Structure 1
């Protein structure tokens, strides 16, 4: 079963990851090395490391080629630095301020089938945009909007762009990836039940409510992910597994997605691309999120993203 392959994180040795938490009311970067969390600023100060500028996650990714060797060196220099208790942290979205969040719809064959379109094979990725207000951190609360009754989950692998990319060929796409992160593309299914004649579904608004994009807890650099097209991905609600698949089932892989999107728009460091969801969404089962639910999304090598659901 794919669930047996789910791991807590990127592993040991010199592996490291980045995320964002709130401290004294402002976002600060946390740095994980060999499973231990530190405040990046404290680690830098303790080791006397010279840095190229601001230490926010997006700032780091915008100068990814400069920061990567610095962070790799820091990963082996945590001795004497106060570690953090992850369960006591106030987690924010791994990147609180991405330039854009571009999403792929209907990108797993089994999900296409469960949504009533078995046999459909799109010729190119189907895209939509989610705004920044949708982002939610690990263990933060998703407040159910009072105007919708069918709020659904979608476990997804998110790509974090690390270099400016325009008209990138698939064979070169891996060079622009900084890392990967769990992402939950929450949707209000009752907002797409009645398409507008001549216009179709409103793909933007039904996915744009506040908190409809949990992201995190940490970004795992691409170098620590052996094969992004062979990662177990699983989502459970209150401990009951709903989605249990692998990224090998994507219709369009990471490279093809980057090639296609970069043929239209310039992808910038810190941009996020959500790559679609496998079968097992609530809408296919007639099940939806309700007050008191706990959603857990795990991706092999990348960790676990938890979301508490509450009604206003």
Structure 2
């Protein structure tokens, strides 16, 4: 498969992609092409549901469907209503339904070096350039001889950008971490690096929201990071809006950006990953089989709120993009925000 020029309507570099959209009270799978979307059923997919399709995806089948035309309204000759609708007329939600979410941490070289500098001991009086050089050598050694660091996310934290991100009232230290996410296709266990890309169905965008003051516990300091309570509140993993087939994406060298209220906060390239996609897949599959539709998050680059000293607030708007995969827009609201209109709630 080949790429095309980015679509101004979607930001996609692909001739088609998958999405899930709201249809009344239901959520339906759809095929996106040329700023339009049409529903997909089992006959279109050749599979009973999305994860079953991803287990053995027939992208050529969907490519032919995308090429049949993306006009909307009734056909003048036949009077048949077109299944295609303008993308702007539907509400998209998260494009995937994973059973497992594996997340890589500390996986961008520059980000980790920044952390080493920011958290250097007060007695370390070396110039910053020297500290960065030393940290860079450590990162290169880790990439050459070490292993990726993983933790587990909960599928219940996934949300589309069709719903606001509710900032829990128990903290004021909620942070962003935009990431390239791998969508697993064929099931695999103890996958070799050479086999890894055969298990990729596609890619999407995730924003791994983190409550900073819940990462380490005061009552059990020796245990380490508590990722369960710091990352798994409802809606803390905004995902999508599209699932782009793997054949349209070269994951090494994608630009990844996040703007907060129009100001650029994260701006990096996936070539800065310490462990690339094949290495992550191989390492993640050593413990547990990866299943069709599972998400593997590749880590977040530098530029999160802790770096800037600016955490998420009520009313913030995040716009996160990964090159060729589209853009997600996440609006933040405070939990139990008081009624500002006056009168009864």
Q: CA deviation at 1:78?
A: 2.8
Answer whether contact 1:6 1:233 (CA < 8 A) is retained.
Answer: no
Name which of 58, 64, 73 aligns with 1:73: 64
Q: Is the radius of gyration larger for structure 1 or structure 2?
A: 2
CA apart distance, 1:173? 0.9
Is the 8 Å Cα contact of residues 141 and 310 (structure 1) preserved in structure 2?
Answer: yes
Q: Which of 180, 187, 190 is matched with 1:167 structurally? A: 190
- Cα distance per residue 1:55-111 (max 9 Å; x no partner): x433421342xx32321211111355243333342222111x211011000000121
Q: Note the alpha carbon deviations across 1:159-206, whole angstroms, 9 max, x for none.
A: 000101112111221111000001100000011254623211212220
List alignment gaps of at least 5 residues for structure 2. Answer: 1-5, 76-81, 120-131, 336-345
Q: Which structure 2 residues correspond to residues 134-283 of structure 1 after superposition, within 5 A?
A: 134-194=157-217, 196-225=220-249, 227-283=250-306
- The answer to whether the 8 A contact 2:190-2:286 is kept is yes
Where does residue 94 of structure 1 map in the other structure?
Answer: 95
For residues 223 and 88 of structure 2, the distance between their equivalents in structure 1, rounded to whole angstroms, comes to 46
Q: Name the structure 1 match of 2:13.
A: 11
The 1:289–1:88 alpha-carbon spacing in structure 2 relative to 1, beyond 3 Å, is farther
Provide, for residues 266-304 of structure 1, a one-character-per-residue CA deviation record: whole Å limited to 9, x for no partner.
111101000001000001111111111111110111110
Taking a change above 3 Å as real, the CA distance of residues 188 and 6 of structure 1, as seen in their structure-2 partners, is farther
CA apart distance, 1:216? 0.3
Whether contact under 8 Å (1:104, 1:127) holds in the other structure is yes
Structure 2 vs 1, CA of residues 51 and 215 (structure 1 numbering), >3 Å: closer, same or farther?
Answer: closer
Q: Deviations over 1:129-165 (max 9, x none)?
A: 1111211102421001011110000010000001011
1:24 lines up with 2:24 in the alignment: yes
Q: Which residue of 2 aligns with 1:105?
A: 105
Contact 1:19 1:57 in 2 (8 A): no
Cα-to-partner distance string for 1:221-264 (whole Å, 9 max, x where unaligned): 01111x20110000001110100010000000000001111122
1:183 & 1:105 partners in 2: Cα distance? 14
* 1:234–1:50 CA distance, 2 compared to 1 (3 A): closer
Pair 1:9–1:57, CA change in 2 (3 A): farther
Comparing 237-246 with 107-116, greater Cα deviation is found at 107-116
- Give the superposition deviation at 1:24: 1.9
Counterpart position of 2:124: none
**In 1, distance between residues paired with 2:321 and 2:45?**
32
Q: Is the 8 A contact 2:207 2:239 kept in 1?
A: yes
Question: Given the alignment, which residue of 266, 288, 292 partners 2:311?
Answer: 288
* TM-score, normalised with respect to structure 2: 0.80
Q: Does the 8 A contact of 1:91 with 1:217 survive in 2?
A: yes
Give aligned pairs, total: 295
* Offset of residue 307 of structure 1: 0.6
Say whether the 8 Å CA contact 1:233–1:246 is kept in structure 2.
Answer: yes
Distance 1:50 1:199, change over 3 A: closer
How well do the aligned residues superpose, as a CA RMSD in angstroms?
Answer: 2.1
